[in-house]
Chain A
Amino acid sequence: MWQWFHKLGSPRWFYQISGKFLPWLALASMVLIVTGVVWGLAFAPEDARQGNSFRIIYIHVPASFLALAGYYVMAAAGAVGMIWKMKLADMVMVAAAPLGAALTFIALFTGAVWGKPTWGTYWIWDARITSMLVLLFLYIGIIALSRSFSTRETSTRACAILALVGTVNIPIIYKSVDWWYTLHQPATIKLTGAPSMHPDMFKPLLVMILGFYCFYALVLLLNTRTEILLREGRATWVKELAQPK
């Protein structure tokens, strides 16, 4: 068990193993996302009330899922790196931040575009949108902090602490924003969340969610591998990798 743990901590071992997974992950996410997009855009039935704008859900919901899950991935990796001094976990944390921020942005953007035909406005201060915006700010804080230290070691440790404090706060922030929204809910716009979904609408969503999970894992691996090359540039095995064949 400990040997395995030790192995997992070795960037070299991880680089080699993840290289074998990459093509499969790329293939899976490609197939799932293309299937989901075509199915969602062309073959899913249109929503009775929202018409075709409802099709944005197939991007919006998976992106929102992973935006939040990504923060926990980042914080968990940061915690592991801090407690067990595992180099690889540090690199995963650094790799997760921009990816999570990008997915949060996608969730916000698709939400806004979806809002225009549905509620007649790009932006409303809905509880979920507002929480998503705060999540984006949390990500931006982490990225800004990670860029302001001169040494990688320090910047990673600092970001891990901030990510952990943020993780403790996220449920409180979400609950408080929810509560705030029930106080101020505008009477004209009544949101009942996602429309009650027909199975024909739900199946492509499931495919897309799976596809996004594969995609997340793929990009996380790719970013981590880049980070490994960046940090282990002096190691012999990296030099061998760079050697012209």
Chain B
Amino acid sequence: MTTLSGAFFGVIRRDLSIAMRHRGDLLNPLFFFLIVVTLVPLSISPEPARLAAMAPGMIWISALLATLLALDNLFQDDFTDGSLVQLMLSPQPLWLLVLAKIIAHWLVTGLPVVLFSPLLGLMLSLPEEGFAPLLLGLVLGTAVFSLLGAVGAALTVALHKGSVLLSLLVMPLYVPVLIFGTSAVQRAVDGMSYGGVMAMLAAASAFSLLVAPFAAAGALKVGING
């Protein structure tokens, strides 16, 4: 565990194995996602045409909320049991270890949401053309949610009841992703090309990848020392 890559993959492996031990926690965001989407036809209309018109937006918003719900756990448990402080004292650069934690977290929360989304697309009668951009967009979009959300999670880690505050802090930052993500699906459904929008989404996630680990590492140092 002395080399950089050793530490990086070590953190990922550790977080994944901890997640596997608490499988219930893993499923919760998925059920949340499913239930929110179920409420849509119940509260608006079961009519397929109306549902199809709302499907891209509803699926994206529910995915956003589901990943937001899971963000709380990104650093919380490690902070409580003290392993987060150990991580910060290790000789490896903190941003790298934070990035490893974000990746592990995305693998157990973001990725399942992405894989689950076609099912919800079916339930909301999303037209066939919409599925590919929905999947691709959610892969990029949930990555941004996890990356930017990590900054908020790091800032609020030492606070009691930080979860509402966390959503308050990061949701405005999610606006561009939501706009590009939903319109990619919408364009595909309308028979237009969605390559340009997807490129914007890819740029947003690349940009977050560049900024978020550093900001989150800085935020951890501030949040924990205080």
Contacts and interface: CB of A to CB of B under 8 A. Distances in A.
Contacts, number: 78
Interface of A: 134, 137-138, 140-141, 144-145, 148-151, 153-155, 157-158, 161-162, 164-166, 168-169, 172-173, 175-177, 179-180, 183
12 contacts: A145-B155, A145-B165, A157-B222, A158-B155, A158-B219, A158-B223, A161-B155, A165-B148, A172-B204, A175-B176, A176-B176, A183-B183
B84 interface: no
B66 interface: no
Nearest to A140: B168
Contacts of B151: 161-162, 165
B222 A141 contact: no
Given A134-B175, A179-B179, 8 more contacts: A137-B171, A144-B168, A148-B162, A149-B226, A151-B226, A162-B155, A173-B176, A180-B183
B6 interface: no
Contacts of B179: 176-177, 179-180
Interface residues of B, number: 29
Nearest to B183: A183
Nearest to A184: B183
Contacts of A162: 151-152, 155, 169
Given A145-B169, A176-B180, A158 B175 contact: no
For the complex, would chain B's binding face be called helix, strand, loop or mixed by DSSP majority?
helix
Contact of B175 (A149, A150, A168, A176): A176
Contacts of B138: none
Contacts of A158: 155, 219, 222-223, 226
A148 B183 contact: no
Contact of A161 (B148, B165, B180, B222): B222
Contacts of B148: 165
B222 A154 contact: yes
A141 B172 contact: yes
B225 A138 contact: no
Contact of A169 (B159, B173, B180): B173
B215 interface: yes
A154 B200 CA distance: 35
B104 to A, nearest CB: 22
Contacts of B41: none
Nearest to A175: B176
Interface in B198-226: 200, 204, 207, 211, 215, 218-219, 222-223, 225-226
Contacts of B173: 165-166, 169, 173
Nearest to A147: B165
A204 to B, nearest CB: 34
Contacts of B207: 172
Given A165-B173, A173-B175, A144 B215 contact: no
A179 B204 CA distance: 15
A138 B165 contact: no
Contacts of B168: 137, 140-141, 144
Given A158-B219, A173-B175, A176-B180, A168 B211 contact: yes
A147 B152 CA distance: 15
A217 B148 CA distance: 32
Nearest to B160: A148
A169 to B, nearest CB: 5
Contacts of B219: 158, 161
A167 to B, nearest CB: 11
